[in-house]
């Protein structure tokens, strides 16, 4: 057993505890003490039986979600256990699973894991340190390019013995690197040595997780079955979870057909993303009789930015003034009231619904951050506070469009015969918006009309899910709708979203193509934060500047889960604070 010490990370001190600890917290101490029996949000006595089915839109052609090729099937994360796992009722902690404990070196230049001797792959083979090393090497050399970005500070990974592995770093670690390495899945080296990890396809991998693939039909469904004698079934981080004998995802060509499938009970549970359906579509005998349950469950997770994203790789969008004017033509207030049934709140931050969102006025501590940047920010940023304006009526919208037109004029885009053209080149200001859901066209239509009044031509390009993924990976779009997911403690994913390096990596999440040295600095500062308070200040500073840069046209967010399900499920009395927690539910019939 590991020593009965909590891992206390004190970056302000000369060293940290180098004891092998069963848990890790980015800030402070973990909620659950060593020896805990189960998480507070589960029912440890939940019956294990029955099935749960959900839906997906499109198709799949791969069982390998770790490479930048193919379209992975839904649910594949169920195949793998990770070195450590998060809890769903605290934002910053990890608990050992495949690794029974983690040890951080006094000099902060290595991270060691001692593996759980009971950890097994689903073919019965023991998980050992060489599997961890092999996993790292495959992800770093053949995986999605984002892994190389995340692993850039890892120098090498070495096996100490069958149950101990150490990650050696190029420089003293930041907190988030420990978190990222700790949540790595572990692959079977013996299995993948006879298969090509770099290729997508329908090779069914050997994992160590609670489920394995039972059967599938391309363009139809994928079904998983619970592993008999799952090695971690009674592990404290797994007790009361994964209670369904089978999990299934049914595939539909689009969400409209999928909704009809739900009403016909072709699948059990639906998380509703369309406000019109939520307000008007759930009716009929099954709902009134109680066969279908419809409920809104509080969502306390931070909500990232959903918006129309400018591709700054396109020359017409490199000018912030042009982006600002185009953003001003979007009338959220009207769209929310007339099309979205007043269900949403306007997104005003990349960290909505959290204490990380910025305010228009710059507090003194954040002003210091800006002042100390080696790459100074534009003076205009300090003179023009960023805030999202929502006209409340047609008169206000007309005034805002007049202002937007003046901004375009000043930026060198003039009206000629009703068309907005570049005064110097004669190029027309026109662009495509890439979407995959037909239902989104009605959202774009009023935006399209407002931009037309500015002389700007907007074309909607609806593509299949597979084409959308391909075009996103290759940055082949002018503008698209995207969600920049976030969580309570942003870390290495900030590099993926915003670094100048990631803008050049195909398949990265730098959808906007932002290359900005000041942002690079602020991202680095945020990841190197030594306290929760310091993280808050640095993220807010970053958020404010990203908002000011007008990289996106902000849309909206929702602070509840809209869930509908056929009435043969129950969930624990206590819900997890930061997740819907479907894997804690159970079947009742």
Q: Which fold has domain 305-557?
A: Dipeptide-binding Protein; domain 3 (3.10.105)
pLDDT at 35: 95
Per residue in 261-316, pLDDT (tens digit) is 999 999 999 999 999 999 999 998 999 999 999 999 999 999 999 999 999 999 99
- In whole angstroms, give the CA distance from residue 463 to residue 457: 19
Per residue in 420-460, pLDDT (tens digit) is 999 999 999 999 999 998 889 999 999 999 999 999 999 99
Burial of 137 (0-12, 13-18, 19+ CB in 10 A): middle
pLDDT band at 177 (very low <50, low <70, confident <90, very high): confident
pLDDT at 1 over 90: no
- In whole angstroms, give the CA distance from residue 365 to residue 388: 23
Mean pLDDT of the chain: 94
- In whole angstroms, give the CA distance from residue 509 to residue 522: 18
Q: Which has the higher per-residue pLDDT, 200 or 162? A: 162
pLDDT at 112 over 60: yes
Contacts for 325 with CB less than 8 Å, ≥ 6 apart: 404, 405, 407, 408, 411, 454
CA atoms within 13 A on the CB side of 319: 15
Per residue in 78-91, pLDDT (tens digit) is 999 999 999 999 98
pLDDT at 8 over 70: no
CA atoms within 13 A on the CB side of 288: 3
Residue 115: helix, strand or coil by DSSP?
strand
pLDDT at 321 over 60: yes
pLDDT at 175: 76
pLDDT at 19: 84
Select the CATH number that applies to the domain covering 211-300+560-587 from these four: 3.40.190.10, 3.40.50.300, 3.30.420.60, 3.40.640.10: 3.40.190.10
pLDDT band at 13 (very low <50, low <70, confident <90, very high): very low
Torsion of CA 564, 568, 573, 574, to 10 degrees: -50
Residue 553: helix, strand or coil by DSSP?
strand
CA distances from 355 to 64, 303, 532, 543 (A): 36, 11, 11, 12
pLDDT band at 530 (very low <50, low <70, confident <90, very high): confident
From 33-37, 323-327, 489-493, the region with the lowest mean pLDDT: 489-493
- In whole angstroms, give the CA distance from residue 99 to residue 95: 9
Per residue in 501-510, pLDDT (tens digit) is 999 999 999 9
pLDDT at 18: 56
- Nearest Cα neighbor of 244 from 220, 268, 219 is 268
pLDDT at 467: 94
Kindly list the domain boundaries of the chain, sorted by start residue: 211-300+560-587, 305-557
Contacts for 256 with CB less than 8 Å, ≥ 6 apart: 438, 439
pLDDT band at 11 (very low <50, low <70, confident <90, very high): very low
Does the pTM of the predicted model rise above 0.85?
Answer: yes
- Nearest Cα neighbor of 59 from 467, 507, 470, 465 is 465
């Amino acid at each position: 057993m590991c020593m009965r010490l909590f891992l206390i990370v004190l970056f302000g001190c000369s060293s940290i505890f180098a004891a092998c600890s069963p848990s890790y917290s980015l800030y402070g101490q973990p909620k659950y003490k060593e020896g805990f029996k189960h998480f507070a949000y589960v029912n440890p006595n939940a019956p294990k039986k029955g099935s749960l089915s959900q839906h997906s839109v499109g198709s799949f052609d791969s069982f390998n979600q770790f490479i930048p090729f193919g379209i992975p099937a839904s649910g594949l994360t169920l195949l793998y256990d990770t070195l450590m796992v998060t809890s769903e009722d605290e934002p910053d902690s990890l608990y050992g699973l495949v690794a029974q404990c983690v040890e951080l070196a006094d000099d902060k230049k290595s991270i060691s894991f001692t593996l759980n001797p009971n950890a097994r792959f689903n073919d019965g083979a023991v998980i050992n340190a060489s599997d961890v090393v092999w996993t790292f090497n495959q992800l770093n050399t053949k995986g999605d390019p984002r892994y190389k970005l995340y692993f850039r500070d890892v120098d090498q990974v070495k096996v100490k013995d069958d149950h101990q592995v150490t990650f050696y770093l190029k420089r003293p670690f930041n907190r988030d690197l420990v978190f990222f390495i700790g949540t790595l899945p572990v692959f079977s080296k013996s299995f993948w040595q006879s298969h090509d990890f770099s290729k997508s396809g329908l090779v069914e991998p050997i994992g160590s997780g609670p489920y394995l693939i039972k059967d599938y039909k391309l363009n139809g469904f994928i079904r998983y079955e619970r592993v008999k004698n799952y090695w971690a079934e009674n592990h404290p981080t797994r007790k009361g979870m994964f209670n369904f004998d089978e999990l299934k995802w049914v595939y539909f060509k689009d969400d409209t057909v999928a909704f009809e499938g739900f009403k016909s009970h072709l699948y059990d549970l639906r998380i509703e993303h369309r406000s019109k359906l939520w307000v008007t579509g759930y009716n009929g005998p099954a709902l009134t009789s109680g066969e279908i349950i419809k409920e809104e469950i509080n969502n306390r997770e931070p909500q990232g930015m959903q918006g129309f994203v400018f591709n700054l790789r396109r020359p017409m969008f490199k000018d912030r003034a042009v982006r600002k004017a185009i953003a001003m033509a979007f009338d959220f207030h009207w769209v929310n009231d007339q099309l979205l049934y007043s269900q949403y709140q306007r997104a005003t931050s990349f960290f909505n619904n959290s204490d990380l969102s910025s305010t228009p006025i710059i507090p003194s501590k954040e002003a210091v951050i800006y002042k100390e940047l080696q790459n100074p920010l534009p003076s205009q940023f300090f003179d023009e506070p960023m805030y999202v304006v929502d006209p409340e009526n047609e008169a206000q919208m007309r005034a805002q469009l007049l202002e937007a037109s003046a901004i375009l004029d000043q930026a060198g885009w003039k009206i000629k015969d009703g068309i907005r053209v570049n005064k110097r080149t004669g190029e027309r200001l026109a662009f495509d918006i890439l979407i995959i859901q037909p239902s989104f066209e009605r959202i774009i239509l009023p935006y399209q009309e407002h931009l037309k009044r500015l002389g700007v031509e907007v074309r909607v390009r609806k593509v299949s899910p597979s084409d959308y993924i391909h075009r996103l990976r290759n940055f082949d779009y002018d503008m698209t709708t995207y969600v920049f997911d976030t969580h309570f403690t942003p870390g290495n994913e900030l590099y993926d979203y915003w670094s100048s390096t990631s803008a050049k990596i195909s398949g990265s999440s730098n959808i906007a193509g932002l290359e900005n040295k000041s942002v690079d600095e602020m991202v680095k500062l945020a990841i190197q934060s030594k306290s929760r308070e310091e993280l808050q200040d640095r993220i807010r500073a970053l958020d404010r500047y990203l908002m000011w840069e007008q990289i996106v046209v902000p849309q909206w967010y929702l602070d509840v889960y809209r869930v509908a399900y056929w009435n043969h499920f129950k969930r624990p009395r206590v819900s997890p604070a930061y997740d819907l927690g479907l894997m804690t539910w159970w079947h009742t019939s």
